[in-house]
Structure 1
């Protein structure tokens, strides 16, 4: 039995209509796409950027956050105030005065003055004394005063020593030596004169001559007068 289709149900009759609708829809989509407004994406100016192919990473320095503000400590809590009724007796605290009355006797311990012992400085050898004794008439710096003292003592011994005494004692010919040691004390006086010689009379003569040296300005060590030890060899020739 042949099935007959209704002319209304046949879709081939509407194919041209569907094609026209599809074409219109396509044109509408294209039109809307063209008319659609687009806006360029704006990126803030980041300044000049230097690209380095060797650097794999970009280092960003971040400033440390500012330290937190220190809040002022809260005010101290006031002490609790106790309200006392008038009828209640309150014990008062009596504070004794520490001031003394003029009539009251004040005992004061006896003040004893303690004398500080001065540093006792021993005698200093002439070779290491800071300020040498000053022979009368010598002037100049330390080096000149040292040389002048030695020169004056040498001239004094040559002038005062009795050189004829050696020949009177019958000593064997040759060079004879007398070793003399003395001290120029902290007052500038000649003291502690000692001598060693081939004969007692030569020894006594050397001591006599040294004791005739004039008084000098004493030597000083660390700015304080001290005794200065001086040794003097005397040589003379016996023919």
Structure 2
């Protein structure tokens, strides 16, 4: 006779359930192991000993106090003070008063007059000269003499200057300027003529023309003859 097993008594049907229970139990054991707290007794003892060392150092620092410095004792006074007499005699110097009495009469033998020389500038610009140089034939007031001098110098340059020289030099068309500076010295002569021009030939021509100016009556500053600096611009057109 063959015996039959009850299907509920077969444990293979519960294999999955047993596996799940085992997994849950393993996870629980791992969790409890992680959450468990441990304390290191050695570290606690070292911390306590370190604190004790610091407390001892603080106590030692508080106990060491520097004694106050004592001031040096005052010098001992001598028992006997000796007085030394001066052997040399000092002669007093009497300072006499330099003030004169009202009743005293001062006699003056001679009065000498000293002429003080005024500093006069050797060369004065034409714009600030008091008395301008007088061109031959000019008359009138100071303003008229100044205007006459300028007009006569301009006429002289227009008559004597070779205007055809500019075209012969092959200069570009347009207005050309020559700047001339000269001095009318204390005697009224023309000296120190200088010129600046776009060409050397024009510069030489301007100097030649200015040197042909006639001798003038010299200008005066504070009533004395002085040299007068004069600036003369010359402009001409090249076609």
**Is 2:113 the partner of 1:150?**
no
Cα pair distance change 1:142/1:120, threshold 3 Å: closer
The 1-side partners of 2:185 and 2:121 are apart by: 12
Number of matched pairs = 126
What is the aligned partner in structure 1 of residue 132 from structure 2? 132
What is the aligned partner in structure 1 of residue 178 from structure 2? 178
Secondary structure of residue in 1 paired with 2:205: helix
CA contact (8 A) 2:160 2:209 kept: yes
Secondary structure of residue in 2 paired with 1:127: coil
Residue 193 of structure 1 deviates from its aligned partner by 0.1
Q: Which runs of 4+ in 1 moved over 3 A?
A: 114-120
Superposed counterparts of 1:153-232, under 5 Å = 153-232=153-232
Secondary structure of residue in 2 paired with 1:147: helix
What is the aligned partner in structure 1 of residue 99 from structure 2? none
The 1-side partners of 2:116 and 2:170 are apart by: 58
Structure with a larger share of its residues in helix: 2
What is the aligned partner in structure 1 of residue 28 from structure 2? none
The 2-side partners of 1:191 and 1:180 are apart by: 12
Secondary structure of residue in 1 paired with 2:180: strand
Residue 118 of structure 1 deviates from its aligned partner by 6.8
Please, which runs of 5 or more residues in structure 2 have no aligned partner? 1-113
Superposed counterparts of 1:46-57, under 5 Å = none
Please, which runs of 5 or more residues in structure 1 have no aligned partner? 1-113
- Structure 2 length as normaliser, TM-score? 0.51
Residue deviations 1:96-123 (CA, integer Å, cap 9, x gap) = xxxxxxxxxxxxxxxxxx9986745220
The 2-side partners of 1:222 and 1:140 are apart by: 20
